[in-house]
Chain A
Amino acid sequence: MTEAVKTPHIPLEKQKLLTVNGDEAVAWAAKQSLVDVVAAYPITPQTIIVEKFSEFVANGEVHTEFVPVESEHSAMSACVGAAAAGARAFTATAANGLALMWEILYIAASLRLPIVLAVANRALSAPINIHCDHSDAMGMRDAGWVQLFVENVQEAYDTTIQAFKIAEDERVLLPVAVNLDGFFLSHTLENIHILPDEAVHEFLGGYRKVPKVKVDYFDEEVPLMLNPARPLSFGPLDLYDYYFEHKMHQVEAMKRVPEVVREVNEKWYELTGRKYGDGVLVPYEVEDADVIVTVLGSTGGTVRHIVKKLRREGKKVGMVRIRMFRPFPHKELAEILKNAKVVGVMDRAISFGSYGPSFLEINTALYDYKEKPLLVNYVYGLGGRDAPPELLEKMFHELLSDAEKGFVEKKLRFLGVRE
């Protein structure tokens, strides 16, 4: 959800109105972000991003080196090489393509390469399914990437530009994945406002700036990049003597992400008049709510619609959209949820033999509180199964009845599946 600022630096009338789908919005954002290298392989529902971007390349509208690789494993590998050489690198994928990137995702993060990856979320095979769920993104949650989930096409554009700013911040230097729901966002037309090119360039501070590091064999700090004049080795053997220490760098960097995401959200607000909660969480009507629902991605819009409706009927309900899933904002979310009677946690993915991924996080977040809400996990929408307003309203009524009873019979519920 966006809030209006009185005088954004670039007022709305100076922003260009575009009618685009989510994929095109991401391509426009990448185009304006002075990306040096795009290496990608097509997969539905991401294809339009790279298709559109290759048009920009073919038309000479960007200077980007476009590498049409033979697989997603190669796409991420080429991005790693490019970013290690100091480039601003971008790619996009979904589902099985993301799964094929898996090995290199970890390498990108541990080499601290600020690559931006757009994921048009899609179910994993088998059976083969091209529609939206979050099982692809959840497969990379431990890879060391920052993960942001957007609610609409405007946010997909905004967040893709923000992602470069966040990734390249010296406090962060981690790759960022921008998740947009396949088809619901990737293929749905929306009117969005985009900035003039120069405003995006200025926001990002021009081309990518490479940070410096200190090594023993040079007297001065040297750029953290593949540079024949000041050579460094990327990713050589690292045994039990130093591997653990290097993992601690990633732990520490992740800790600094929330403050940077908040700052960037605030700067974007001043520039454009748009912001998304505090950048990390987007709460709505939570102050006195007995029942709060948490959600990721485009379903947030439908949930908000139901919250509005039920509020008009006098029901004390609210919602929080989790915009940043990695690092997970445990403390901040717990502070919002702690006074509710029941929290419904919506997951568009399941860890077989366990619960939905955000349910596990929220249990962890609330464990240390003496007074805490009852928790229910709703797994919904797998393989693009629709989550219409009536279904979500039914969920809220179930939760309100749980709140009244004061206990929860079934912790894990499957919403919208036939028995």
Chain B
Amino acid sequence: MTELRGYKELPIGAVPFRLSTDYKTGDWRALRPVVDNNKCVKCMLCWIFCPDMAIIWDGEQIKVNYDYCKGCGICAHECPVKAIDMVPEPSE
């Protein structure tokens, strides 16, 4: 984020002045999903179930968009071949 703005510079009605994609919510995450692409059968269930559209199919394999993944673990829970591990984020 750039410098925080004062109230005189903000639109009224509390409408956001930037797009929601500018808010990187990935830093809320405590657990990080890590995909083992050797185990992955590319069934795309994780892509279907991810509530934040943070699973990316790049045409060859599954990737996670860590800018927006909040670490809920639904992908790991739904994965039928246990190809996704939820790994603790390093504490700062």
A-side interface residues toward B, CB under 8 Å? 110-113, 173, 211, 213-217, 224, 232-236, 238, 241-242, 245-246, 248-249, 252-253
Q: Cα distance A245–B11 when bound, in Å? A: 11
Whether B15 sits at the interface, judged by CB under 8 Å, is yes
Asked whether, in the complex, the Cβ of A246 is within 8 Å of the Cβ of B19, the reply is no
Q: What B residues does A113 contact at CB under 8 A?
A: 13
Q: Is the CB of A216 within 8 A of B18?
A: yes
B20 at the interface (CB under 8 A from A): yes
The answer for the CA separation of A201 and B35 in the assembled complex, in Å, is 64
Beyond known contacts A217-B19, A253-B12: 8 more, CB 8 A cutoff: A113-B13, A173-B13, A215-B15, A235-B14, A241-B4, A242-B10, A249-B10, A249-B13
Q: Give the 9 A-B CB pairs with smallest separation, nearest first.
A: A213-B11, A245-B7, A248-B7, A246-B14, A112-B13, A232-B15, A215-B17, A216-B18, A216-B17
Chain B residues touching A, majority SS: loop
Cβ of A211: which chain B residues have Cβ within 8 Å of it? 12
**CA distance in complex: A133, B14 (Å):** 34
**A-B contact number at CB 8 A:** 62
Bound-complex Cα distance A241 to B7 (A)? 11
In the bound complex, how far is the Cα of B11 from the Cα of A173, in angstroms? Answer: 13
The chain A residue with its CB closest to the CB of B15 is A232
Within 8 A of A (CB), among B1-45: 4-7, 10-20
Known contacts A245-B7, A248-B7, A249-B7; is-contact A215 B14 (Cβ 8 Å) = no
How big is chain B's contact interface, by range?
10 to 19
By a CB distance below 8 angstroms, the chain A residues around B16 are 215, 232-233, 236
Residue in chain A with minimal CB distance to B9: A245
A-B contact pairs, 15 of them (CB 8 A): A113-B13, A173-B12, A215-B17, A215-B18, A217-B18, A224-B15, A233-B15, A233-B20, A234-B14, A236-B20, A241-B4, A242-B4, A245-B5, A248-B7, A249-B10
CA distance A233 to B11 in the complex (A): 12
Smallest CB separation, A257 vs chain B (Å): 15
Q: A214 touching B11 by the CB < 8 A rule?
A: yes
The minimal Cβ–Cβ distance linking B8 to chain A, given in whole angstroms, is 8
Residues of B within 8 A of A249 (CB): 7, 10, 12-14
State the CA gap A413–B13 with chains docked (Å): 42
Contacting A224 at CB < 8 Å: which of B5, B12, B20?
A: B12
A236 to B22, CA, bound (A): 14
Q: Which residues of B contact A253 (CB under 8 A)?
A: 12
Evaluate contact between B12 and A245: CB separation under 8 angstroms: no
Q: How far apart sit A113 and B10, CA to CA, in the bound complex (Å)?
A: 17
**Nearest B residue to A237, CB-CB:** B23
- Alpha-carbon separation in the docked complex, A233 to B16 (Å): 7
Bound state CA distance, A236 and B20, in angstroms? 10
Contact status B15-A245, CB under 8 Å? no
A96 to B15, CA, bound (A): 31
**B44 nearest CB across to chain A (Å):** 29
Residues in A whose Cβ lies below 8 Å from that of B7: 245-246, 248-249, 252
User: CB-CB < 8 A to B10: which residues of A?
Assistant: 242, 245-246, 249
Contacts of A248 in B (CB 8 A): 7
Q: Which A residues touch B11, using CB under 8 A? A: 213-215, 224
A239 CB → nearest B CB, Å:
10
In the complex, residue of chain B having the shortest beta-carbon distance to the beta carbon of A112: B13
Q: Residues of B contacting A216 with CB < 8 Å?
A: 17-19
Closest to A251 in B: B7
**B residues near A215, Cβ cutoff 8 Å:** 11, 15-18
Give A215 to B16 CA distance when docked, in angstroms: 7
Q: Write out the residue numbers on chain B whose beta carbons fall within 8 Å of the beta carbon of A224.
A: 11-13, 15
The CA of A238 and the CA of B16, in the complex, are separated in Å by 9
- Chain A residues closer than 8 Å to B17, beta-carbon distance: 214-216
**Closest CB of chain B to A173's CB: distance in Å?**
7
A-chain residues with CB within 8 Å of residue B19 when the two chains form the complex: 216-217
Q: Which of B55-79 contact A (CB under 8 A)?
A: none
CA of A122 to CA of B20 in the docked complex: distance in angstroms? 43
